[in-house]
Structure 1
Amino acid sequence: MSAHQTAVIAGCGDLGTEAALRFADLGYRVVGLRRRAELLPAPIEGRSTDLRHDVPEIDADTAVVVVALAAGSRDPDEYRATYVDGLRNVLDGIDRSEARPRIVVVSSTAVYDVSDGSEVTEDTPAAGGTPTARVLVEAEALLRERAPGAVLLRLSGIYGPGRERLIDQVRSGSARLAPADASSPHTNRIHRDDASSAIVHLATLDDPAPTYLGTDDEPVRLDDVLRFLADELGVPTPEHGPASDRQAGGDKRLSNALLRSTGFTFRYPTFREGYRAVLAGEGASHR
């Protein structure tokens, strides 16, 4: 890689910023696109733009474009403006430039409408069982139509520094185990640092597949995570009962075998290592 190659991160929130810093460590010049570019840390070159409405300028020497957009709410119209319109504007910017970059687009495993606890791979049909998931499927279809060679990375639930909702629920006593006569759903997660590492890995990989699942090694029942966190925090195990905020992602066991087959290694292979790092205060949020 030439030291003069540029990586553009379209959507430089927490995940995009962490990925941007890793590209910079590899010697890339990194341009970060977000609404408030002044919030970006050095050495990222920030450009203020609202990708929901603006077509960004893509420099001719751009070797990588990462699209890591994040909607501000779960309103389907906000989702469409962010994930569909935002992606279209980034692709328009690439088309208007002389660059022919590797494109990596972050999506979500929410596109899989699976609730029977079965295993999910890249070959599982992405049906989109909720209004927001259907918007993500729409964005993925746009990507395939416009940029057939792009890499799609579907991430499971991201946790890490500043993403501590589950920890806060256990600590406060508001978390609830499934009713005693029911099983809690399987959940799937990935530490933000592993998610950002996967983005960089796929952006620099020879001959990648079209789609990868980004998730750690261990699908796990939500109750097992809650018990683990209670133990680590030294607080009482949550009680059984109907939770006001039960897992909304169905019940599925995601496989990371394809990602692993590329040589990718996880710093936090399961929720245990990852949450222990979060509880120890390791890493920083870029929000």
Structure 2
Amino acid sequence: MSERILIAGCGDVGERVARLLLARGYEVYAMRRHPPEGTDAIRWLQADLTRPETLAALPGGIARVAFLPTPDARAPEAYRAVFVDGLRNLLDVLDETALRRLVFASSSAVYGEHGDAWVDETTPPAPLNFNGQVMWEAEQWLAGKPFQAVALRLAGLYGPRHLQLIDRLRAGQVRAPRTQQHWANRIHVDDAAAAIAHLLALSNPHSVYVGVDDTPLPLNVLYDDLARMVGAPPVADGPAPANVGSKRLSNARLRASGFQVHWSDARDGYAHLLGAAR
């Protein structure tokens, strides 16, 4: 009998993870507040992490969990509701004697300002904003649980449903610092999903991985290249994003585990999405 896997918070990335797991023979349950209608190999569950009473009917025997919720808003209370309280609500109803592993989709926002320095899993977290602070709190709480918890600290996602940056470039709404370098880090949604599926099955994983492509770029280089790609106005000089921090993220640990991203450079990934020349 195949193992039961639960995708807790199954949005765009979660559906991609679910499809990969189904192809590998797992029994996949996917939890969403408003699941899609119709028949599907994914076993959809209607539940809300912030409402414990909706979690009572979750199936037993869940062996692995991918925790991938999306907050209702970019606000401290919304993040805490799903990543801290929602995580506790879920684990209160799951059988921890059956649960072997939980992969927590964390964020590179747990890191602070590092200038031009390389950042990896050994770099101490020092979040500059509430999102990183909440993620780091959840990671620390998970570290004390009896099952194997793995945090994947994802960089900025892009993909078919994640093209807001392109819209802003075309509207001339994007700025980038040019006198002081600020590093950008990205990962394609398909690579993020593949990394999550990889870590759910990996033998003897580390407790933390950085989820990013192979090519961190100065922010102005990334924006300039994307603007040229889509015929957008030149990117004006401006301040670095607030409360983000400059850092060059390394995926060396993830690569050493046997994983390889398909889109090693975000500019190639964007070019493919947009049908544009690099």
Normalised TM-score (structure 2)? 0.91
Give yes or no for contact 2:3–2:63 (8 Å, CA) kept in 1. Answer: yes
Distance 1:155 1:84, change over 3 A: same
What are the ranges of 5 or more consecutive residues in structure 1 without an aligned counterpart?
282-287
Contact 1:191–1:274 (Cα < 8 Å) also in 2: yes
Q: What's the Cα RMSD here?
A: 2.1
Matching residue of 1:260: 255
1:38 is the counterpart of 2:36 = yes
Q: Is the 8 A contact 1:63 1:99 kept in 2?
A: yes
**What does residue range 115-194 of structure 1 map to in structure 2 within 5 Å?**
115-147=114-146, 149-178=148-177, 182-194=179-191
In structure 1, the partner of 2:94 is 94
2 CA distance for matches of 1:170 and 1:39? 35
Contact 2:56 2:93 in 1 (8 A): yes
Alpha-carbon deviation of 1:132?
2.6
| SS of equivalent to 2:134 | helix
**Could you tell me whether the CA contact under 8 Å between 1:58 and 1:99 is conserved in 2?**
no
Match in the other structure for 2:209: 212
CA distance in 2: counterparts of 1:194 and 1:111, whole angstroms: 20
Q: Is the 8 A contact 2:128 2:243 kept in 1?
A: no
Query: Within the alignment, does 1:195 sit opposite 2:166 as a pair?
Result: no
Contact (CA 8 Å) 1:52, 1:85: kept in 2 or not? yes
Deviation at 1:112, TM superposition (A): 0.6
Contact 2:152 2:211 in 1 (8 A): yes
Residue identity matched to 1:201: H
- The sequence identity of aligned pairs, in percent, is 38
1:102 Cα shift?
A: 1.9
Aligned mates of 2:39, 2:128 — CA distance in 1: 37
Paired residue for 2:71?
Answer: 71
Distance 2:175 2:275 in 1: 24
What residue number does 1:114 align with?
113
Give the TM-score of the pair, scaled to structure 1.
0.88
CA distance in 1, matches of 2:166, 2:199: 30
Task: Give 3-state SS (helix, strand or coil) of 1:129's partner.
Answer: coil
User: Residue 249 of structure 1 aligns with which residue?
Assistant: 244
Which structure 2 residue ranges, 5 or more long, are not aligned?
Answer: none
After superposition, give the CA deviation of every residue in 1:55-111 in whole Å (9 maximum; x if it has no partner).
Answer: 45453442321101111212111111110011111222223x652332111100101
- What is the aligned counterpart of 1:52 among 50, 53, 60? 50
Name the amino acid aligned to 2:72.
Answer: G
Q: 1:8 to 1:56 in 2, by over 3 A?
A: farther
Map 1:21-32 to 2 at 5 A.
21-32=19-30
* Distance across 1 between alignment mates of 2:75 and 2:15: 24
Amino acid corresponding to residue 70 of structure 1 in structure 2: T
1:204-236 alpha-carbon deviations (Å, 9 max, x no partner): 111111110000111111111111112211334
> Equivalents in 2 of 1:41, 1:170: separation in Å?
39
* 2:100/2:148 contact within 8 Å kept: no
Corresponding position of 2:16: 18
Report which stretch shifted further, 116-125 or 252-261: 116-125
> CA separation in 2, counterparts of 1:144 and 1:121?
18
**Contact 1:110-1:128 within 8 A present in 2 as well:** yes
Contact 1:60 1:98 in 2 (8 A): no
SS at match of 2:253: helix
1:110 is paired with a residue whose SS is helix
Runs of 4+ off more than 6 Å:
none
Question: Secondary structure at the residue paired with 2:205?
Answer: coil
